Amino acid sequence: MTANASTANLSVLRQFHALTKPRVIQLIVFCALIGMVLAVPGVPTFPQIGLAAIACAGIYLVAGAAAAFNCIVEKGIDAKMKRTAWRPTARGELSDTQTLIFSALLCVAGSAILYVWVNPLTMWLTFATFVGYAVVYTVILKPLTPQNIVIGGASGAMPPVLGWAAMTGDVGPEALILFLIIFLWTPPHFWALALYRVEDYRKSGLPMLPVTHGSEFTRLQILLYTIILAAACVFPFVYGMSSWLYLVVALGLSAGFCWYAVRLLRNYSDELARATFRFSLIHLSVLFAALLVDHYLL
């Protein structure tokens, strides 16, 4: 194989890898892993660690399949938006057939891993999440209603439930609390992004909230959701899932998110919207990390 052919093959592999939206998938697997850890009292055994690793691999593959399928459906929209125009499907570097086969292979492989080596419940929940994101959200809700991210956020909130089911074979109240936190976190997180990308969404024709209802209304919704989210973030402590360590971190993060939302409502700027979006990522990551630390230390 010549050096040029080797470079070309590497480039194609990178294109397929890009279809899986790696940064998004990393957050999904992290949230699923938190669900797995919290489902196991105390320090996990080696068999439990092995089970968690297999479950993470299966969830990663199915989530990657959903992301690739999303790239097919939205290639026309992606091509119009600066944030997504680089994607291989939007640039025409990978065909629909190639992407569809890649998505199907990932979905089948991930589902088989979960069914055979984890449990059928986790496989079916993960597959339902695939359908919810790739079909219900991407194909139906996203082009239909400005509430798309609220309703479709249910799919994005599923990872901790998948993790919990992988380790226990059922879905407990604790998993539903984690689901609720991510479900309420998603709208303010995404709308902060949509505010400073509003012209991209306007060009794409998607009915995102800043396009259909304006900036001020969107910023008010962000503030309202961050307040409700702050209340939901206390639930793990109230239910007895966590101790004071988690509560202190959760209250601090919630105060920070609300502070950003208030500033955003009172004095908007694209720079502040970007900062709010970045803080939302910190909020969820540190919140779940605090749950993890709290689980082992106290």
Running along the chain, 298 residues long, what does each successive block of 10 average in pLDDT? 42 84 88 93 91 97 93 82 78 87 95 97 95 83 79 87 96 95 95 92 85 95 97 96 95 98 96 97 93 87
Domain boundaries along the sequence of the chain: 8-170, 172-298
> Cβ distance 170 to 124 under 8 Å?
no
**Predicted pLDDT at 8:** 45
**Predicted pLDDT at 123:** 97
0.75 exceeded by the pTM? yes
**Predicted pLDDT at 2:** 43
**Predicted pLDDT at 7:** 41
**Predicted pLDDT at 94:** 85
CA distance 164 to 160: 6
Tokens 């008010």 belong to: 220
> Can you state the angle between helices 120-131 and 46-73, rounded to 10 degrees?
20
Domains 8-170 and 172-298 share a fold: no
Q: How is 227-273 classified by DSSP, letter by letter?
A: HHHHHHTTHHHHHTSS-HHHHHHHHHHHHHHHHHHHHHHHS--HHHH
**Predicted pLDDT at 125:** 97
Structural fold of domain 172-298: Four Helix Bundle (Hemerythrin (Met), subunit A) (1.20.120)
Q: Quick one: tokens of 274?
A: 């970007």
Nearest alpha-carbon partner for 44 in 163, 131, 206, 140: 163
**Predicted pLDDT at 274:** 97
Q: 3-class DSSP state for residue 86?
A: coil
Tokens 């496989």 belong to: 123
Q: 3-class DSSP state for residue 88?
A: helix
**Predicted pLDDT at 21:** 87
Query: Which CATH code is given to the segment(s) 8-170?
Result: 1.10.357.140
Q: 3-class DSSP state for residue 182?
A: helix
